[in-house]
Amino acid sequence: MNTQENWEVTKHATPEYAPQYGVYVEGERNDFCIVKGEDAEAKAHLIAAVPKLLAACRHGAASIHHPACSHGKRGDGNTCECHVKKCQEAIDEAESGD
């Protein structure tokens, strides 16, 4: 999966009652995926945001513990479990393909 490039969304030439959107890597000719059905546009834009969301999770997983956190510390005492753990779980799921 190419998570380094910008992903874009286009509306296919389908009737309004059956909207269909393509998600593609900027500069590529073919759609990465096609999204159909209810809320297709919103779902396509969410898919297109994956590279930026994954980058944000990676950044969050590398965060330093902040004094206001009341959720405790991981073993090293320097990281905050409240968001770090959630970010790491999201990264693991995204990269495992599950």
For the chain, domain boundaries? 1-48, 50-98
pLDDT in tens, 67-82: 555 555 455 555 555 6
Confidence of residue 92 (pLDDT cuts 50, 70, 90): confident
pLDDT in tens, 1-58: 556 678 889 999 999 899 999 999 887 778 889 999 989 999 999 998 888 888 888 8
What is the reported pTM? 0.68
More confident call, 91 vs 35? 35
- The pairs formed by 86-92 with CB atoms below 8 angstroms and a separation of 24 or more are 86/60, 87/57, 87/58, 87/60, 87/61, 87/63, 88/57, 88/61, 90/54, 90/57, 91/54, 91/57, 91/58, 91/61
Residue 96: predicted pLDDT: 75
Residue 26: predicted pLDDT: 80
Main-chain phi, psi angles of 41, to 5 degrees:
-65, -45
The residue assigned the tokens 């909207």 is 19
Residue 87: predicted pLDDT: 79
